[in-house]
Amino acid sequence: MLIRKIVASSRFLFIIAVVSTFILSVVTFVQGAVMTVRMIMITLGLTPLAGEVSEKEMTVETIQIVDVFLLATVFYIIALGLYALFIDENLPMPAWLEFHTFDDLKANLVGVIVVALSVLFLGKVIAWKGGVDFLFFGGAIALVIFALSYFLSLVKRKGKTTK
């Protein structure tokens, strides 16, 4: 009886993971905001770097900022998902962000990761200076996206057969 209570209560250990990933999310969002302010200051000429940064570098910086916000979103989704799955499943969230199973959390994460990889690739395309190595980088990202998409299709197929 005591062991059963201990095991049942152990789910609250996930509060550590929830709080930690939520803090990571907040810190990463702040980092993205700081990067945004810095870029705006450079664009408006409010810093000595204004004349030294090319338009291409600014475009790459913009894409990197979006990438930082996507990473923050991943941390946020993990925090929400773990909270909903292990602590309180009645957390009010929009329908597209509801988690009823671990597969729901994985599906949301895969979607955000695919977008983040696409943004990363776009940043590399803009900064590309020529060379064959880029082909391998693009191929690697394509393979990862393919694998994640395949994984997601298996998760969705599994969900249809178990419902």
The pLDDT assigned to 91 comes to 84
Q: What is the pLDDT of residue 146?
A: 92
Q: For residue 19, report the phi and psi dihedrals to the nearest 5 degrees.
A: -65, -45
Looking at residue 10, its pLDDT comes to 84
Q: In this predicted structure, what is the pLDDT of residue 50?
A: 66
How many Cα neighbours within 13 Å face the side chain of 161?
6
pLDDT along the chain (163 residues), means of 10: 82 92 98 95 80 79 91 92 89 83 84 86 81 84 91 77 49
> 32-70 burial by CB neighbour count: b if 16+ within 10 A, else e?
beebbeebeebeeeeeeeeeeeeeeeeebbbbbbbbbbb
CA distance 57 to 64: 10
- Model confidence, pTM: 0.77
Place of tokens 């941390």: 75
